[in-house]
Amino acid sequence: MKKALVTGGAGGIGEAISRRLAKDGYFVYINYSRSKEKAEKIALEINGQAVQFDISDTDAVKKAIKDIGTLDLLVNNAGISEIELFTSISQKSADSILNVNLKGTMNCARAVLKDMINRKSGNIINISSMWGQCGASCEVDYSASKAGIIGFTKALAKEVAPSGIRVNCIAPGFIMTEMNRRFSEDDLELIREEIPLGIFGEPRHIADAAAFLASDKSEYITGQVLAVNGGMVI
């Protein structure tokens, strides 16, 4: 059985990806930082395993990956955001966004790659954002971190391709998760009007994209950004 690690696996998108990969035959390790109860519940339901570690902590990541052992697939999904003016956001929040979103993604990839390179087999899927493609006002640090993930994906894909490892990226649009339910009905309607398909994305849409990139159907695809945004960014 193939093994996958999904970081932030207890969140809306992470849960959908974890469930879909399990359905497709993967044994899934569900990483979480604080959502222990939810992660363990999901793991029980999909016959996977919940694993706690902070992806921004390099040593913690190394230890966790060593304990897990061989992985066929890494999905770097964990991320945080904050809506605030660039000149007003606290330094602590700005540092956290970069440390979790970009450094955390790189930490996890670095930790799994030695074994993947030795085996000449492996697959890494990074979750970016449409704001990493075009930028978002009042989410400058977040946009920068997600743009960094896109650059990281392209560079790493070139470096590890000779070892038979694929690295791709998904850039979700406005996905209706708990985080986005904080918007008022009026704000949601304004956002909907900006989406050419006229509907909000759902976690399952990202899970479907991840399942494709995790499968042999995408065996000749690497270093790419798959935009799942209803046409909001083209």
Give 168-213 as a DSSP string. Answer: EEEEE-SB--GGGGGS-HHHHHHHHHT-TT-S-B-HHHHHHHHHHH
pLDDT for res 178: 79
Which CATH topology does 3-228 take? Rossmann fold (3.40.50)
Task: Please report, for the chain, the start and end positions of each structural domain, with discontinuous segments joined by +.
Answer: 3-228
Q: Kindly state the DSSP code that residue 125 receives in the 8-state scheme.
A: E
Confirm if 137 and 184 have CB atoms less than 8 A apart: no
Which residues form the catalytic set? Answer: 142
φ and ψ at residue 192, rounded to 5 degrees: -60, -35
Average pLDDT estimate for 161-185: 92
Q: What are the tens digits of pLDDT across the range 189-214? A: 999 999 999 999 999 999 999 999 99
Span 121-162, pLDDT tens digits: 999 999 999 999 999 999 999 999 999 999 999 999 999 999
pLDDT tens digits, 217-227: 999 999 999 99
What six digits make up the tokens of 2?
């193939």
pLDDT reported for residue 97: 98
Helix (H) / strand (E) element for 60: namely helix 58-68
What is the pLDDT confidence band of residue 182, given thresholds at 50, 70 and 90? Answer: confident
pLDDT at res. 106 = 98
Average pLDDT over residues 95-99: 98
* pLDDT computed for residue 8 by the predictor: 98
